[in-house]
Amino acid sequence: MMNLKIIKKYLSNLFGILFSRISGFLRDLCLANYLGAGYFSDLFFVMIRLPSIFRALFTEGVFNQSFLPNLAASQKKGAFCIQILCIFCTFLAILCLIISVFSKFFISLIFFGFDDNFIKEAASLNAINIWYLLLIFIACFFASLLNYSNRFFISSISASFFNLACVFALIYAKEYDKLEKLYFVSYFIICSSFVQIILLLLALKSNKILKAMFLSFRKKSKISLKNFFKNFFSSLLGASSTQINSLVEISLASTLVSASISYMNYATRIYQLPLALIAIAFTQVFFPTLIRLIKANEKEQMLNSMSMIFHLMLFLLLFACLGGFILSEEIIKLLFFRGAFTYLNVLECAKVLRIYILCIVPLGLSRLFLAYINANYLHSYAAKIALISCVICIISSLTLIKFFGVLAFCISANISAWFIFFAYLKCFKISNFVAILKLKYCLIIFLSAIIFSFALIYLKGFINAFI
């Protein structure tokens, strides 16, 4: 019964994430069509890079990993939530103001490989887009309250507003020059975050915690947030490592041939689709349940649930990996080969995707073990592993870039992904892993994968003729 409930919640979350990811592909399709792969597409990815980095640090997984376990443990949930909301909003407002005012300094510091004109234009666009960070945190906070109540669809679908804003802006501004298009995109993104917040508030109108927040605000109730911030800063350290690695990669990529950053972003969009639909969707749904099972000391039920999820994820991730590797060129061609996106762009982008896609199996499976680590309040361990993996990834990139160019970042991502998988597995304990592993299911999965691979290779010619 427990496993059936998890599957139902997963399907609900899956459709929400699928809609968001499809909107993401639609966004990239419009970017490729209207901006191509070069100066202006690089400008787009640079202008949203800082907001994206800080979003990853202060919202999404980092915030949820600390917020949900501590919310479950809190006796005064309203006071806990209102304090968190006020503290983060104040801090992020100040951060956004600083980055907006000194935008050119931050852009030139990070993206040193670009010329002065590019830096100037990127800084102007970044000064607008950075305010998205504050608004999206508020949206993420309300989405977390929905997730705590086991309501996943609204929160997962709300993320599509960013992508749809980009699509509508590009279509609306199709007659304008490329730089003006990017200004339209920036303002549409800001407006979309307000719509997202309103949607989430409507979904929360009967939520008990939201009502408790209003009461606590009136009474000015306060509680200790020591445990939350202890866990949050540990998660933040881990996320910071990932974002530092991302910054190093994009800084190094700015020194390579034009469109390298665009190739990385287009390929990342594709390989993150199965990662989101399988790994993130499953672990988001399972995480609140996992917290309750651990709190109730129901180890056998926990392991049974994890076993089911592990084998489903392994099956789906392996098939997605094989499909992306074998059909990398066909996927890029189908999605982006139009407008300003040339066939040469297709070939180069396919090379990047072919290597990136290999890391979804270890990355996806490690998300399940990370959920277990965070549910046991072992955030500091996860942070340490993330820090080490960041160092490994940066050293690998610096070592390999002169031999492989942009592909060095893809290879480094794979090395880092396998390190994270085995490190998380060690924390989960080998005895627990043996308990969830079913040899019969693994054999069926791998035999099916071999048959699937031969079928794709056989069909590859027909697919090429069709597209």
* Rounded Cα distance, 447 and 378, in Å: 36
Tell me: pLDDT of 154 over 60. Answer: yes
DSSP per-residue codes, 287-302: HHHHHHHHHTT-HHHH
Task: Give the mean model confidence (pLDDT) for residues 116-135.
Answer: 91
The average confidence (pLDDT) of the chain is 85
Ranking 123-127, 159-163, 239-243 by mean pLDDT, the lowest is 239-243
DSSP one-letter code for 259? T
Confidence at residue 96, expressed as pLDDT on a 0 to 100 scale: 93
- Ramachandran quadrant class, 60 (left: phi over 0; alpha: psi -120 to 50; beta: rest): left
pLDDT tens digits, one per residue of 323-369? 999 999 999 998 888 777 888 888 989 999 999 999 999 999 999 99
Tell me: pLDDT of 423 over 90. Answer: yes
Name the token pair of 395: 């050293």
Confidence at residue 3, expressed as pLDDT on a 0 to 100 scale: 57
Confidence at residue 188, expressed as pLDDT on a 0 to 100 scale: 94
3-state secondary structure at position 467: coil
pLDDT tens digits, one per residue of 212-249? 887 777 777 778 788 888 877 777 776 666 677 777 77
Cα–Cα distance list, 231 to 53, 63, 65, 374 (Å): 20, 10, 8, 9
Residue type at 67 in one-letter notation:
F
Kindly state the percentage of the chain with pLDDT values over 70.
92
Phi, psi of 166 (to 5 degrees): -65, -45
Name the token pair of 139: 């949206």
pTM of the model: 0.70
Q: Which residue has the tokens 């098939």?
A: 319
Task: Give the mean model confidence (pLDDT) for residues 421-443.
Answer: 93
pLDDT tens digits, one per residue of 270-298? 888 888 888 888 887 788 888 888 888 88
